[in-house]
Every structure is written in structure tokens, then in C-alpha cells.
Amino acid sequence: MADTLSAGMTRDAAFALLSEHNKDPFHIEHAETVEQTMRYFAREYDPENEEFWGIVGLLHDLDWEEHSDDPANHTIYAAKDIEAAGGTPELIRAIQTHTSDFNPELPKPELMMEKILFATEELTGLIGAAIVMRPSKSVMDFSVKSLKKKFKDKRFAAGVSREVIRSGAEMLGWDLDELFARTIEAMQSFAPDRDTFGKE
């Protein structure tokens, strides 16, 4: 039986906090994409904590827009803002695990939720960037084969760390194909609401 995890705030409060620290629509869209991806996996692995998984996804990059020049402290700045808004220590911990590769002092992913965040967060960005280049601009007709091509091309979405994606798959005990297929499926599960990425 999974423990019930409390975020200490509602989804609305989390979104208000996100909007206070992020003005770029791209960052807000990335947060919501990761939120919905996390919710998709929560329904499979930890359904009673879907709300918690979603809020972790929504706030995972809370401080990135204001502090992207200091990656080692990414999520450390966010911790005090999340705490001030009523966020729980487990919410802060879960968010900080996804930057443990930048800063070895931060906790490493242990829970399934933390491993999923680590493995899919950069990957959703790569998928989003690939989709925008497609004629359909839709994830609904996007394949693992297309994603593998983009993953191999280091110049494409060069800011996306292939290493993080690889080590995330390893943490989960999945091969890259499985991680790719399942993350695409996750994004397809909520895309019909907003099928075209990168649209005004």
C-alpha cells in the first residue's frame, strides 16, 4: 500500500506560484507538459498520489526562469518559495532529485515518482522540440523511430541532456526504446486537449 503524499498546496495554488515566478509561456507550457506526463505515470504506478505527482511536475522548474545562470543551485532557490507557499518537505525533496546530477549534495531519485521525473523531464522537451518541426505539429503521429533520429542528432535541441535521459532510463530499468515509447504515449494521452504544440 503506497503512502499518501501531501504536497501541502492545491494544484491551483501551485499554478499561481508557477505563474508568479515564470512569465515566459514556453516555461509554463513545459511545466504543464511535465505535470500531465507525471499524472499519466501516477495513474499506473501510484494512483492515490496522482495529485502529488502532478504538482511535482508542475513546480519542478519553478526557479529556472529566474536563475538559469546558476544550474548548480537550480531547485535550491525554489525550495524557499515552495516552503513559503505551504509546500511540504516531501514535495521539495521530490523536485530537488531531478537536479541531483547538477549538484551532488541534492537527494538522488529513489521513489518511482522521482525516477520518472528525472527520466522524462528533459525527454518531454526533446519530444516537444521535434513535434514543432513536423508538418502536423502533433504528437499523435509521432513515432519512436523519429524520436531516436532526433536523440542521435546532437545538434538538434542541443540543450537537452542525452546523458540525463540515458541515466533516467537506467534508473527505471527500462531501455531507451521503452522510455521513448512510454513518454510519447504519456504525451499522446493529454495532447487531444491541446493537440498542437508550439501553437500561439
DSSP 120-164: HHHHHHHHHHHHHTSTT-BSTT--HHHHHHHHH-TTTTTTS-HHH
Cβ atoms of 76 and 96 within 8 Å: the answer is yes
pTM over 0.75: yes
Does the pLDDT of residue 199 top 60, yes or no?
no
Rounded to whole angstroms, how far apart are CA atoms 85 and 45?
28
Quote the pLDDT of residue 198. 43
Instruction: Give φ, ψ of 196 to 5 degrees.
Output: -100, 120
Rounded to whole angstroms, how far apart are CA atoms 93 and 89?
6
Cβ atoms of 115 and 41 within 8 Å: the answer is no
Rounded to whole angstroms, how far apart are CA atoms 172 and 117?
11
pLDDT in tens, 11-62: 999 999 999 999 999 999 999 999 999 999 999 999 999 999 999 999 999 9
Quote the pLDDT of residue 71. 85
Rounded to whole angstroms, how far apart are CA atoms 148 and 47?
30
Classify residue 105 by its DSSP letter: T
